[in-house]
Amino acid sequence: MALQSINPCDGGILETIARHDETDVARAVAAAAAVAGPWAARPVAERAAFLSAVAERLRARREELARVITREMGKLIGEAEAEIDKCALVCDYYAEHAERFLADVPVDSDAGRSLVVFQPLGLVLAVMPWNFPFWQVFRCAAPALAAGNTVLLKHASNVPRCALTIAEVFAEAGLPVGVFATLLIDAARAEALVADPRIRAVSLTGSEAAGRRVARSAGEHLKKTVLELGGSDAFVVLEDADLDAVVESAVRGRFINAGQSCIAAKRFIVVAARADDVVARLRPAIEALRPGDPLDPATTLAPLARADLREQLDEQVRASLRAGARCLAGGRPLEGPGWFYAATLLDRVAPGMPAYEDELFGPVAAVIRAADEAEALRIANDSRYGLGGSVWTADPRRGEAFARRMACGAAFVNGIVKSDPRLPFGGIKDSGYGRELGELGIREFVNAKTLWVG
């Protein structure tokens, strides 16, 4: 069955794209495996030069590529342009730093000379999601390619044009055939590929269910994996926080990409002394968000990417309300074309509600009231997820002490959780394992080999 590229703003079909058949897949895997050795043998500086060329192509086509993102998955055009900028930045980052990150590390031992050397694993299968359809691919591919691996991309089925365009950008930059390629296949075919002995590692960003399936298969075949799964990040407000900064950051942190972000602030945990003030300020700011055409710069609330995502979110909101949460704004799908959901504020969220227990992947802010700082920390850690979290306080030392005790992969003090090429990114618990970005990211898909010389 062919893939359909659908505009979330109006539900219209943009184009129909044929899936790759078994012959296409076999050809792509063979090409990626064949070129893996020669690509790994190139000096790091040569691979870095290719990444610099990719960054140049991204910047040269910035507006066009951003429109591809917005039309196919619904992101606000300004956010889409920022996504392209970030992809270019991560390419530049690894072009500049890969040689240092992959340099041999001498170690004192009983040898005449001993050291650790970093060598690529080979062919990496990248299974990537739709919500940041360029960034999450480049976040995986840039360090993997810089390290000397080849990459096959299986992208989400609702962003086939993004997937093909990404491959086009790499080809325009001059990468040898097979070093990076896109496979338009379904999830079942991708999971079957994990068993192929030519594929040496898998990187997946997606749902818990997909992560468990891929990890199970990879474990059976002894393949290295990195999993970045869901998140329900805590946004903790202590009694001394600057509420102007809190509200502005809360709205940005929750409603970016219409709330469809793993590291979006989702659980707003506020100490009782400030809870009424925070809710009173949040409500008008949330109600002011304007849904509309995401290509219009005046629009501030994008649609959800698919109809089923909106239905699932609405059921989670309704179930939370039935369990006692209070809806202060929104709380419903918007009428008319497209898959818009009203910007929503839920108060008095408590354990047992979907808004407390689960990830709400859409424009819904859930306020949980805590008696004090100690209870706020307990609530922040009372989640099966552990991707990111933030704490807001006038005292940076207090904030750092709190952040150190948060059970997550990235904790921010007085800042919105974000991914940064310079810092490792990833989660714990049901949010997955492994790290992308930074020095740790480039070393995920390498063999850290001991070399001992007598």
- Which residue among the candidates 191, 228, 359, 436 is catalytic per the annotation? 228
The pairing of beta strand 180-183 with beta strand 199-205: unpaired
Given a contact cutoff of 8 angstroms between Cβ atoms, the answer to whether 275 and 267 are in contact is: no
- Which residue among the candidates 87, 162, 262, 327 is catalytic per the annotation? 262
And the tokens for 120?
A: 């690529």
The three-point CA angle 297-303-306 to 5° equals 145
Instruction: Examine the residue annotation and report whether 262 is marked as an active-site residue of this protein.
Output: yes
The three-point CA angle 356-358-362 to 5° equals 100
* Residues 6+ away with beta carbon under 8 Å from 261: 131, 132
Q: For residue 403, give the amino acid letter.
A: A
Q: Hunting for tokens 């552990």 — which residue is that?
A: 386
The pairing of beta strand 364-370 with beta strand 265-271: parallel
Query: How far is it, in rounded angstroms, from Cα 355 to Cα 384?
Result: 13
Residue 153, strand partner residues = 126, 182
Compute φ and ψ for 239, nearest 5 degrees. Answer: -70, -20
Given a contact cutoff of 8 angstroms between Cβ atoms, the answer to whether 262 and 387 are in contact is: yes
Report the Cα 245 to chain-centroid distance in Å. Answer: 25
Instruction: Examine the residue annotation and report whether 408 is marked as an active-site residue of this protein.
Output: no
Q: Give catalytic residue positions.
A: 228, 262
